[in-house]
Copies of this chain bind each other. A is one copy, B any other.
Amino acid sequence: MISEKISQIKKFYYKHKRLPSYAEMLKIFGLSSKKSIYDIVYKLIDVGLLKKEGKKLAPTTKFFSLPVLGLVKAGFPILADETRDYLSLDDYLIEDPQSSFLLRVSGDSLVEVGIFEGDYVVINKTKTAYPGDIVLAEIDGEWTLKILRKDQQGSPYLQPANPRYPPLYPKLKLDIFGIVKAVIRKLRN
């Protein structure tokens, strides 16, 4: 069964962060001829999980991706092979790994936009910020995560997303360090 082999290769990949070589696949699958591996590999290429660049074997995006289902009101969200939508989280969330980092959120000043204490936000430090963006900013010497706004005069200020907190107008200076690209929350261990 080919799907077993896929699972085994994925397990290997998640453990070793690389694909197994032919020799290693021999062990994994309990086979003894490299030709068998060769055949399996090309089956996996046909299926679209692996690809070749010259002689080098590499996983495709599909290899890493989870199936994405839509919630149809009546009837189960389509599961099996019918779905052609796959998403790799790392790819989806972090376009520019070199200039991104994660920030653990403290405080409840952004609850209304669905950002809670303990959530992680992906911050990108290169992109330009526009009004409406959630930004990591230094306002009068203090670092904070808020919504960027502009008043009638076009001067920027910071707005919480929680009725209990007032907007923050900079007395001296307001520096935008990066903008929030994504929000990540883990619910259960």
Contacts and interface: CB of A to CB of B under 8 A. Distances in A.
Interface of A: 7, 10, 14, 16-19, 21, 53, 56-61, 63-64, 66-77, 79, 87-90, 92-94, 97-98, 100-106, 111, 114-116, 119-120, 122, 127, 133-134, 136, 138, 141-145, 177, 179-188
B21 A66 contact: no
Q: How many copies of this chain?
A: 2
Given A59-B17, A103-B71, A183-B184, A88 B90 contact: yes
B17 A60 contact: yes
Given A10-B98, A17-B64, A64-B90, 6 more contacts: A66-B100, A73-B142, A89-B89, A92-B184, A133-B188, A183-B185
B101 A68 contact: yes
Contact of A184 (B89, B115, B144, B177): B89
A34 B179 CA distance: 41
Contacts of A72: 143
B186 A93 contact: yes
Contacts of A144: 71
